[in-house]
Amino acid sequence: MDERSLRKDLDITLSVWRFQIDSYWSRNSYFVTFHSAIMAAVWQISKNAGMSAPRKLAAECFCYAGIFLAVLWLVNNLRVHQYILYWWGRAAAIEKLMDNPEETRLVLGYEQHRLPKFLPGEYHLWMNSIPVLFFILWVGIRMLCF
């Protein structure tokens, strides 16, 4: 392959990688919005002390929906992270084939030029703690309130 087609392949690969990251953030925003709406529904349904049986059942069902949504969110995050790593790896493989000097490489030189981490641990693990927190919150609401 010539340098020009490798550059084109690298651009396409990084474009797909960026799309995966953008979709990751969009989906996380949607999941937070859905959880907020479900919590508002549970709050609205159960705010009266003398809740009728149908209202209690509806609130419980919303709690189960929140639990399911939290699990779905975590699974989605794990899968999207796999896609992100895959496309980053593909970009690295293409860069290896290019004749660029090491200091100009984006993917292969990333770890050398990366700024120090503010928090210890991997970023995706911190992000995955959010759906886990929602899961624990929903289970707690379900067990304590209904």
For residue range 56-77, list pLDDT tens digits in order: 899 999 999 999 999 999 999 9
Are the CB atoms for 109 and 27 separated by under 8 Å? Answer: no
List the one residue out of 29, 25, 31, 19 whose CA is nearest residue 83: 19
Give residue 2's pLDDT band: very low, low, confident or very high (50, 70, 90).
confident
Q: 89 vs 35, 95, 110, CA distance in Å?
A: 33, 10, 12
Average pLDDT, the chain: 90
> With 0-12 CB in 10 A as exposed, 13-18 as middle and 19+ as buried, what is 25?
exposed
Q: Which domain holds residue 94?
A: 3-145
pTM over 0.95: no
pLDDT band at 18 (very low <50, low <70, confident <90, very high): very high
Tens of pLDDT, residue by residue over 101-144, are 776 777 887 777 778 888 888 888 999 999 999 999 999 999 98
Distance, CA of 4 to CA of 77 (rounded, Å): 34
Instruction: Work out how many domains the chain is built from and give that number.
Output: 1
Cα distances (angstroms) measured from residue 57 to each of 52, 111, 135: 9, 52, 19
Which pLDDT value is given to residue 80? 95
The reported pLDDT for the residue numbered 50 is: 80
